Structures are given as structure tokens and as C-alpha cells.
Amino acid sequence: MAYPISLLPINNADIDSMNPYRALPSSMSLMKNTLLRALNNIHQLAPRLSPAHLATSDFLSYVDNVCGVLLVHMNNDETFFKTPSPGGVVLGNVLHCAGISSGVVRRVETLRVLVRGWKDIPREYNATAMTGALDFGEDLAREMRDLVAKVERRRLEQAVTAHELTSMIQANVERFASQNDITFLVPFLFSHHDRSKSPNWPPTTPEGREALPLLAEHHAGCWRLAPFSVLTGEERGWEA
């Protein structure tokens, strides 16, 4: 089991200023890195907690919610690449990709079932079982890297117009947001993204940034375990 998982390569360009053919693989990598970083964080924290630890309840809630975001993300990838464009083009057929394998999805679901059992009976929390259930991490990362690599600019340009692709990306973002708990999702993105390497992501309106402190009050125990501060982006380590 290869932890920590290697993250996907990124650049520090402003996605909003890119054309959609470049923006799509870049935004995919940034989003996927938040999830891989969360898995690394869970793997690191799991052995440091015990059934009696005061932070274990928050930790289990954190893992449960991360699994939820990851499952929605994987489903959303599949939907994006299988749904025809306004012009009837299925990008998955053009790019020869189909999202994350069902085997990896089932392993994430298995982890979530395990965690929800511990949430009901915290005294049964088992760190060894937790780290064992994370064994899908490298397979997930490999499939994510392969998926992003298949999103080739040349093929996209030949298949759909910039306007069509922009519309598809926006619909995908809206669908993803609608299927998540925004009070968890938005602080999660900010607390699992290294802003020192890509300061212009996640894209947020001024109103959204203004609302961030209020959003961070929800699931506050989760953000105490996160690798970066929700509000400042400062990297930090959790102290038991």
C-alpha cells in the first residue's frame, strides 16, 4: 500500500483565463488532488486516534464526508464523459475514457460502510482496519492520472466547439455542487488545496469568499484535522 499517494502534476495558471480545452484537464487535476490529499491525510491520522480519543468522532465524520465527496466526484466524471455534448458528441468515445473503474468505486463504498459503523459505535474504531480499507488509494490515483492524460487538447478541439465544452464543464460543476453538501464541500476544497502552488483555485466569487468563515463553522471539527487552514490556506499539522 503506497502511502503517501503521489499527487497529479498541476500548473499555477488561472483556470478562468484559459480556453476550455486547457482548463478541463487542469481543473480535473486540481480537484482530484484535493481528494488524494484527503486520503493521505486520513491514512496519516488513522493510527494516531483511538476509540477513546476526543477527536475520533470528528475524524470519523471527516472520513465519511470525504468518501461522500469522492463517490459523487467519480460518478460525476462518468456522467460527464458519457453524456452527449449539445452537438451529440460523447467525449468518452472520442477520448477513449470512461471514468474510474467500478472496482475502485466499490472499495470506497466499503470504506464508507465501515466508517459509518464506527460512527454508530465509536468504541469499536480500529485503526488497522481503517488503514487496510484505504488500500484502493494507489489504484485510484493511477486511474485518475490515466483519465486526465486521455483528455487531450487536440482531440477535444476536433470533437466539440469551445462554447460547447464550456457549457458542458459548467453543467458538470453545477451537477457536482448540487449533489454535495455545500457546507462541507466548499471548506473541504479550500482546506485540501495548496494555494501556494495554484493560488487561483478553487474559483470563487467575492461573495463566496465572504461567506467562507460562516461555512467553515459547519463541520468545524473536520477542519481542525485538515492539512490547510480553510481561511488562510496555511499548511498545518494536526496535534493529538
pLDDT in tens, 16-59: 889 999 999 999 999 999 999 999 999 999 999 999 999 999 99
Instruction: Tell me how many domains the chain contains.
Output: 1
Is there a domain that residue 115 lies in? Answer: yes
Is there a domain that residue 3 lies in? Answer: no
Query: Would you state the pLDDT for residue 204?
Result: 83
**What amino acid occupies position 48?**
R
- Asked if 32 and 192 touch (Cβ cutoff 8 Å), the reply is no
Query: Would you state the pLDDT for residue 1?
Result: 57
156, HSE (Cβ side, Cα atoms, 13 Å): 22
Distance (Å, whole) CA 187 – CA 191: 6
> Which parts of the chain sit beneath pLDDT 50?
none
Is there a domain that residue 15 lies in? Answer: no
Which grid cell is 190? 479550500
Is there a domain that residue 56 lies in? Answer: yes
Q: Kindly report the length of the chain.
A: 240
Is there a domain that residue 224 lies in? Answer: no
- Whole-Å CA distances, 108 to 55, 65, 84: 22, 12, 27
Structural domain for 37, as ranges? 20-182
Query: Would you state the pLDDT for residue 27?
Result: 95
- Asked if 97 and 81 touch (Cβ cutoff 8 Å), the reply is yes
**What amino acid occupies position 65?**
N
Is there a domain that residue 213 lies in? Answer: no
Is there a domain that residue 49 lies in? Answer: yes
